[in-house]
Amino acid sequence: MYFCRKSSGSASTKTKKKTSGGTASLSTSVRKSLVEEVLKEERKLSGGNNILPAGGLSRSSRQHRALVLDSAYRPINVWSWSKAVMMDVLQRCDVIEYYPPPAHALSGRGLHKLPAVVRVEKYVDVNELCQQVSCTPRNVLMRDKFCCQYCGSKQHLTLDHIVPLSKGGKNTWGNLITACMPCNQKKGDKLLSQLGWKTIGPPPREPKPHEVGFVAGLRMRDLVKPPEIWSLFLEPYRARMGGLLEHIKTTGEDDLLDDE
User: Within 13 Å and on the Cβ side, how many CA atoms surround 30?
Assistant: 15
* Secondary structure percentages of the chain, helix, strand, coil, to 5: 35, 15, 50
| In a domain? residue 16 | no
| pTM, rounded to two decimals | 0.53
* pLDDT attached to residue 46: 34
| AA letter at 196 | G
Domain co-membership, 59 together with 153: no
User: How far are the Cα atoms of 97, 107, 173, 210 from residue 38, in angstroms, in the given order?
Assistant: 20, 9, 42, 33
205 or 111, which is more confident: 205
Split into its structural domains, the chain has a count of 3
Domain co-membership, 161 together with 224: no
Q: For residue 67, give the DSSP letter.
A: E
Pairing, β 176-180 against β 157-161: antiparallel
* pLDDT attached to residue 30: 60
Beta-ladder partners of 105 = 2, 112
| In a domain? residue 201 | no
Domain co-membership, 168 together with 245: no
Domain residues for the domain of 242 are 215-251
Angle at 122 between CA 76 and CA 143, to 5 degrees: 30
- Residue 95's H or E segment, with its range, is strand 94-98
Beta-ladder partners of 95 = 118
Min mean pLDDT across 15-24, 84-93, 146-155 is at 15-24
Q: Express each pLDDT in 53-84 by its tens digit.
A: 333 333 444 568 899 998 888 888 888 888 88
Q: Express each pLDDT in 105-147 by its tens digit.
A: 766 666 788 899 999 987 666 555 556 778 888 889 888 988 9
| AA letter at 12 | S
Min mean pLDDT across 138-142, 167-171, 187-191 is at 138-142
* pLDDT attached to residue 56: 32
Q: What is the CATH number of the domain that holds 189?
A: 1.10.30.50
Domain co-membership, 122 together with 146: no
